[in-house]
């Protein structure tokens, strides 16, 4: 395959076939993923996004992993939506820290019409800095997605989180079908989709395969696929869950890369407690995007000096602009 194109992208994966990928000898799996990666990307470039929680805590949903759900006692205080100027100031600092994309999250079950104007002002302010913009605000209606696109929002993040079979163990307050509907509104409005999930929730390998099948069999692959390792937060139902073997995390990245070869695969939450070696293996397995900056939404992320040292050791460089292969 000399010139891989969109025509090579598959949308007909079966769970059994993907379980077979997971079961490959580690070296074979990583070699395949790295080979696929090199057909479309510079293997030494990593896209950098910075996160900001623009509306923290007090969320009405019951996502079992989440420190921001109102019903769990996690010590996260509920806050109001941040002012535009404060968000723009934080985005400016992130740009100086090397970020090319600014991702803003709100602990909402869904976007409310009364907040749309303020959100659009934030999008415009951040975009004017020359950053790509991404937001994750919960469920969207079709008109709301249109408004965000019009304001210049580049990406919308909305994760499926896990397999259809395991989903009910993790969230009961909205269905996976609800999520598909929001994702469709995002697509129809012409924005790029950031959609992935979490591993280490106590799911099995079949669920990890099922999650990736659900992502890859969408009509279009999400342009960004965040693979989060559960950050265990005290007070959430999933605190104390058995740790996922880091090599199984690396396998998940590799399988995602093979299935969605043109997407940015993000080594997302969980880097704070990950060794340099596991992160290096994740990049080798085809991850080409990370969150940079000392904080995710409410939990810690490696600091800039730490990431610079890692990039130095691995000879990695930040990607200036996201180029979709
Ligand atoms: N409230 C909106 C929603 O859920 O759609 C947007 C923000 S929500 C915090 C965004 C995503 O962060 C979740 O879908 C989940 O995948 C991820 N996330 C939340 N808590 C996490 C944790 N403790 N560890 C790993 N990922 C987490
Ligand atoms: C995604 O997939 N991971 C990010 C982002 N999208 C919004 C969020 C990670 C949150 C980790 C827990 C926290 O810091 O609250
Ligand atoms: Fe709310 Fe999002 Fe956390 Fe779920 S993941 S509880 S929807 S903030």
- Cα-Cα-Cα-Cα dihedral of 152, 198, 325, 315, to 10°? 110
Distance CA 215, CA 178 (A): 15
Q: Given this model, what pLDDT does residue 323 score?
A: 60
Residue 41 clears pLDDT 80, i.e. is over it? yes
Instruction: Note if 292 is an active site residue.
Output: no
Q: Which of 61, 64, 269, 299 to mutate to test the pocket of ligand 2 (most atoms within 8 A of CB)?
A: 269
**Confidence class of residue 1 from pLDDT cuts 50, 70 and 90?**
very low
Pick the atom of ligand 1 nearest to 108's CA: 1
Residue ranges around ligand 1 (CB below 6 Å)? 59, 65-66, 105, 107-108, 136, 138, 158-159, 161, 198, 228, 230-231, 233, 269, 297
Centroid of ligand 3 to alpha carbon of 265 (angstroms): 22
Residue-wise pLDDT tens digits, 72-87: 999 999 999 999 999 9
Q: Across residues 256-267, what is the average pLDDT?
A: 98
Mean pLDDT of the chain: 95
Find where tokens 């759900």 sit. 69
Residue-wise pLDDT tens digits, 130-160: 999 999 999 999 999 999 999 999 999 999 9
Distance CA 154, CA 111 (A): 17
Could you tell me which residues come within 8 angstroms of residue 306 by beta carbon, excluding any fewer than 6 positions away?
A: none
Ligand nearest to the CA of 174: 3
Could you tell me which residues come within 8 angstroms of residue 164 by beta carbon, excluding any fewer than 6 positions away?
A: 176, 210, 214
pTM (predicted TM-score): 0.96
**148 contacts 115 by C-beta, under 8 angstroms:** no
**Confidence class of residue 99 from pLDDT cuts 50, 70 and 90?**
confident
3 state DSSP class of 153: coil
Nearest CA to ligand 2 atom 1: 226
Residue-wise pLDDT tens digits, 280-301: 999 999 999 999 999 999 999 9
Catalytic residue, from 101, 147, 174, 194: name it: 194
Q: Given this model, what pLDDT does residue 164 score?
A: 98
| Structure tokens that stand for 5 in this block | 């194109």
Q: How many residues are given for the chain? A: 325
Pick the atom of ligand 3 nearest to 69's CA: 6
10 Å Cβ neighbour count for 222? Answer: 26
């Amino acid at each position: 395959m000399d010139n891989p194109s969109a025509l090579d992208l598959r949308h007909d994966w079966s769970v059994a076939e993907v379980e077979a990928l997971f079961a490959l000898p580690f070296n074979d799996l990583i070699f395949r993923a790295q080979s696929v990666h090199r057909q479309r990307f510079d293997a030494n470039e990593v896209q950098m996004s910075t996160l900001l929680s623009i509306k923290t805590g007090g969320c009405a949903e019951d996502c079992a992993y989440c420190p921001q759900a109102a019903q769990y006692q996690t010590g996260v205080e509920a806050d109001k939506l941040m002012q535009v100027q404060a968000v723009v100031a934080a985005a400016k600092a992130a740009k100086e820290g090397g970020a090319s994309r600014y991702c803003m999250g709100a602990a909402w079950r869904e976007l409310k019409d009364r907040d749309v104007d303020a959100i659009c002002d934030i999008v415009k302010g951040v975009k004017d800095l020359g950053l790509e913009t991404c937001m994750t605000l919960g469920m969207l209606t079709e008109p709301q997605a249109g408004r965000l696109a019009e304001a210049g929002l580049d990406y919308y993040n909305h994760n499926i989180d896990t397999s259809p079979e395991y989903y009910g163990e993790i969230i009961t307050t909205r269905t996976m079908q609800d999520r598909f509907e929001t994702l469709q509104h995002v697509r129809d409005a012409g924005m790029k989709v950031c959609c992935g999930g979490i591993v280490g929730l106590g799911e099995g390998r079949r669920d990890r395969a099922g999650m990736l099948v659900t992502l890859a069999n969408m009509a279009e692959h999400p342009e960004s696929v965040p693979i989060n390792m559960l950050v265990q937060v005290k007070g959430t139902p999933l605190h104390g869950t058995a740790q996922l073997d880091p090599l199984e995390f690396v396998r998940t990245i590799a399988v995602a890369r093979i299935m969605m070869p043109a997407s940015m695969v993000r080594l997302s939450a969980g880097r704070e407690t990950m060794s340099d070696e596991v992160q290096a293996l994740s990049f080798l397995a085809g991850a080409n995007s990370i969150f940079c900056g000392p904080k995710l939404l409410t939990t810690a992320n490696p600091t800039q000096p730490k990431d610079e040292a890692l990039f130095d050791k691995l000879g990695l460089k930040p990607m200036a602009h996201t180029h979709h292969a």
